[in-house]
Amino acid sequence: MARRPTIIDVAKVAGVSKATVARVVSGYDGLVREETRERVWKAVDELGYERNAVAGSLRTDQTFMVALCIPDITNPFWPEVARGVQDTIEPSGYTTVTVNSDWDAERETKYLRMVQRNRFDGLIINPTSVDSETLHRLGVPVVVLGSGDNYPEFDSVGSDTEEATQQALAHLLALGHRRIALIAGRSRRRREFARTTSYRRFHAQHALPLDESLVIECEFSDQDGYAAMYRLLDMPQPPTAVFAANDILAIGALKAAQAMQRHVPDDVSIIGMDDIYAAVMTSPALTTITKPKYDIGATAAQLLLARMNGGTAAPSHLKLPCQFMTRASTAMIRA
């Protein structure tokens, strides 16, 4: 196996000192003449030299790596968030390492140890079970994705899902629906899910009777959305409309309705949330709430960069606005 070129090899080919090569490849080349810099980079290209980032981190206490910890890499919501993080963080010289906790507390803990052990410079995380004290012990800047209610001492960025839920329910109410079900998903960090809170508040504000049997909590999968919808439509008095906590649940609900020979939207209207790519590909296309997925990631990266650069301002807790997207899965209630 061929020996990897070293900084000494580059220095010999370029005719400069090892220290000069180190300054150039590390970006600290303000005092190096342009002609010398060009010779160094020519030698780097000729030899195929790669800087040892680990060794560099021991000198500068920086690895220029940040971790992005997400709960479900199979959910199409998260790739857009990850792209927003990556596009924003990379121009500052950082590399993003994305890990998937799979909603598993043990796996999440393992990744947090990796962040600490490998001297990552920062972390962006949608927490599964980790508490604030554990995040503090990492000793690096942290930005929380989603609601920051449980992490007030850290920057957080998410979307205004409570207001978005109000918009979805108001849309159904305007179409004449009064018996509206909620496939709520299951919150892993809070006792009360934001969609459930908003759903109950909406019923109280509009003097609608609240039937607890119309609220179903389940995991965030299309299979669980299917099972929940089957239960709802099998009731003696089924709902005329269903709001699902995300598009994956809504797509599962749509499949169940069609399997039970119910026409969407004439027999039952369905609304989702997130506006993943598949939402426009269903038949009928899914009425949903568009979350600013890319902007969430980009904003989180901006907050992290500010902290890694020494920012000491009070933590920011941002909720980016959503947009209601009317498609073909909702309609006026039948007379």
- Per CATH, which fold does 161-291 belong to? Rossmann fold (3.40.50)
* Cis preceding-peptide flag for 236 (omega within 30 of 0): no
Q: What are phi and psi for residue 105, nearest 5 degrees? A: -60, -40
Cα→Cα distances 127→122, 124, 168, 172, Å: 15, 9, 26, 32
The reported pLDDT for the residue numbered 189 is 58
Q: Does domain 7-51 have CATH number 3.40.50.300?
A: no
| Low-confidence residues of the chain: pLDDT under 50 | 1, 54, 57-60
Do residues 165 and 226 make contact, with C-beta atoms less than 8 angstroms apart? no
The reported pLDDT for the residue numbered 68 is 97
218-250: buried (b, 16+ CB within 10 Å) or exposed (e) per residue?
bebbbebbbbbbbbbbeeeebbbbbbbbbbbbb
Distance CA 170, CA 177 (A): 10
The reported pLDDT for the residue numbered 57 is 47
pTM of the shown model: 0.82
The reported pLDDT for the residue numbered 182 is 97
Q: Does domain 63-159+293-320 have CATH number 3.40.50.2300?
A: yes
Alpha-helical segments (H) within the chain: 7-14, 18-26, 34-47, 53-60, 77-89, 105-117, 132-137, 161-174, 194-205, 222-233, 247-259, 293-308
Do residues 94 and 274 make contact, with C-beta atoms less than 8 angstroms apart? no
Cα→Cα distances 19→12, 15, 304, Å: 12, 12, 32
Q: List where CATH 3.40.50.2300 sits in the chain.
A: 63-159+293-320, 161-291
